[in-house]
Structure 1
Amino acid sequence: MRDFTSISPSAKSLLLMKGLTDIPFMADAVKLIWGKGTLEALDRNAMNAGFLKRLFHFEIRYKSIDILLDKIKPKNIIELSSGYSFRGLNKVMNNPKITYIDTDLPEVIETKSSLTKSFIEQKQLDLKGHLHTLPLNVLDKQAFLDTVSKFPKGPVTIVNEGLLVYLNTEEKQQLCRNIHQILSERGGYWITGDIYIKKNFPIDTADDGFSDFLKAHNVEDNKFESFEQAEQFFKEQGFIIHKKAQRGLGQLSTIRYAGVARFTGIIAQAARIGKIRDTWALVPAK
């Protein structure tokens, strides 16, 4: 068994949160990386409001992408900077028509490959579709084109969550150029869960070091000024909005950790603040 101690603290914190959801394979990943009994031992009564908000946020973001994927029903899917998410493995389990390319930077994808192999062996999975787990720097145009060329003929759907907030404006523009070329040549969609706008209120903190991680990577500065500015940015890069995801609060599995009353209060507070993130399906403008 591979030693997973090299996984960064921020990634481990995010994994622990997602392990509390019903997102496929996340609880299994927590057992391998944090150890058996971790989720059971977590004192759920001690979860502060900041932790719960993050918990809801990441589950909503993940599932909002699945909502759009279910509407589009693509056969060729590439996920960019997927981290320790196993959407690809889940998608190819029972669908022989899907080819899924799961990508991230080399040091991440090496660990991801080991985890994926462990799940397949432990659960004796017989994958119907085709899953590739490959290293990719999304700003490297040629590497991106070479990776996409591994798909069968047909349109390509590009997916990402938790990527654009780590890129400055110039890097976002480069990514847009890469994606625009691919979709213009092959057809398809770009589903991004990273339509974040800057906050004008204090950030809730949870005692897990995650806030320090976000600050160190200039995440707040890398967000869009508004949804209108985000739409204008993508328009300037040659994209238009095909569809926006519904919020999907009814699909949240993590409500149980807050209780109905506490969850209702958190959602009411969020409504007063206003939406700070969205998931869009983009296509090249004609």
Structure 2
Amino acid sequence: MTDYALTNAWQDARQRLALLEAQLDPATRRHLLAAGVGAGWHCLEVGAGGGSIAHWLCQVVGPSGRVVATDIDTCIAGLDAPPALELLTHDLTREPLPAGAFDLVHARWLLHHLPDLDAVIERLIGALKPGGLLLIEEPDFYPVTAGHAGAPPLYARFMDALTCSVVAATGRDCYWARGLPAMLASHHLRDVQAAAEVAMLRGGGSLARFYRLSAQQARARVLAGGHLSAAEYDAALDLLDDPALWAFAACTVSAWGRRKVS
């Protein structure tokens, strides 16, 4: 993955990832606990980011379990990590994963950055033991552009420009995740299920700060796309700081299923 816009090496990357984790972790934990993740499980966290779910999984699986966390840059995931956590610097688009080794494979807000989703999903499934669980969580930004009342038009234009610029190298946009359950089913996982959760953003709040930091990191890339002027970009950043702003952010689509037992 050679054109990643939001690298972990950025000076404020840890703060940006922590803000996203605070938003997403509760739902992820609910899904995993409902699926039965527990002591003794062997777990693979792909694209671990800040590492919060990998760290939590170490507690859940205990000393009889195993947790491997991968990322193209594991520097943040390794901070304050439990001793049992195994870190693997890994590019999912280029490098294989251990075959048939895990009871759980989890990836969150990762696939929208990657080309060739079908190949990526096959690689994730291949890392599962027979009967193992794959959970993928991805953002779909349809609520932002759905014309909801109250949010200034600049907010929707800014969010569309930001998200589309960040994933431009994939040839896609950030409006595809609603198709994730059908995609998993097409890869012959069994017992496929799904859920979706729309986030509400308030200016100055933690989620608004996450998008503000993302926009600061990706500023040059977004402005190069020509969809917003620099003045409009700065006005949108100010908007994210304004407590009077209430607006929808992304809908996170969570889909999961189990690898067939031969």
Q: TM-score, normalised by structure 2?
A: 0.59
Correspondent of 2:50 among 70, 80, 84: 84
Q: Give, in whole Å, the separation in 2 of the partners of 1:138 and 1:104.
A: 8
Q: Distance in 2 between matches of 1:236 and 1:145?
A: 23
Q: Does 1:63 align with 2:10?
A: no
Match of 1:176 in 2: 121
Summarize the alignment of residues 76-115 of structure 1 with structure 2, pairs less than 5 Å apart.
76-93=42-59, 95-105=62-72, 108-109=73-74, 111-112=75-76, 115=78
Residue 194 of structure 1: how far off its partner (Å): 1.0
| Cα distance change of structure 1 residues 224 and 282 upon mapping to structure 2, 3 Å threshold | farther
Q: Distance in 2 between matches of 1:241 and 1:81?
A: 22
Contact kept, 8 Å, 1:102 with 1:134, in 2: the verdict is yes
Query: Of 108, 111, 123, which residue of structure 2 is paired with 1:164?
Result: 111
- 1 or 2, which has the higher helix percentage? 1
Whether 1:190 aligns to 2:137 is: no
2:256 pairs with 1:281? yes
Find the aligned partners of 1:226 and 1:131 in 2 and give their Cα distance: 29
Superposed, 1:6-17 pairs within 5 Å as: 8=7, 12-17=11-16
Matched, 1:221 2:172: yes
Q: Distance in 1 between matches of 2:54 and 2:68?
A: 7
> Residue type matched to 1:276 in 2?
C
The root-mean-square deviation of aligned C-alpha atoms, in Å, is 4.0
Q: Distance in 1 between matches of 2:26 and 2:193?
A: 18
Does structure 2 retain, via aligned residues, the 8 Å contact 1:164–1:222? no
**Identity, % of aligned pairs?**
8
Using the alignment, how far apart are the partners of 2:36 and 2:10 within structure 1? 29
Tell me how many residue pairs correspond in the alignment: 202
> Deviation digits for residues 15-63 of structure 1, max 9, x if unmatched?
32444x5xxxxxxxxxxxxxxxxxxxxxxxxxxxxxxxxx6xx533232
Distance between the aligned counterparts of 1:161 and 1:65, measured in 2?
A: 9
For 1:93 and 1:226, the matched residues in 2 are separated by 30
Match of 1:242 among 174, 178, 193: 193
- Matched residues in 2 for 1:140 and 1:104: separation? 12
Equivalent residues of 1:67, 1:245 under 8 A apart = no
1:80 Cα offset (Å): 0.7
Q: How big is the shift at 1:157?
A: 0.7
Matched letter for residue 119 of structure 2: Q
Deviation of residue 195 (structure 1)?
4.9
Paired amino acid for 1:189: L
1:233 aligns with 2:186: no
Deviations, residues 73-132 of structure 1 (Å, cap 9, x unaligned): 331110111123232223324722331000012xx12x247x43xx26xxxx6x5xx321
Counterpart contact for 2:48–2:71, Cα < 8 Å: yes
Structure 2: any 5+ residue segments left out of the alignment? 1-5, 147-155, 210-242
Identify if the C-alpha distance between structure 1 residues 163 and 225 changes in structure 2 by more than 3 Å, giving closer, same or farther: closer
**Secondary structure at 1:97 match in 2:** coil
Question: Do the aligned partners of 1:91 and 1:98 also contact (CA within 8 Å) in 2?
Answer: no
TM-score (norm: length of structure 1): 0.55
Contact 1:188 1:283 in 2 (8 A): yes
SS in 2 for 1:133: strand
Give the structure with the higher percent strand. Answer: 2
Name the structure 1 match of 2:150: none
CA offset digits 1:110-164 (Å, max 9, x no partner): x247x43xx26xxxx6x5xx321012222346x2135x64xxxxx5211111211
Point out where structure 1 has 5 or more consecutive residues left out of the alignment.
1-6, 22-54, 150-154
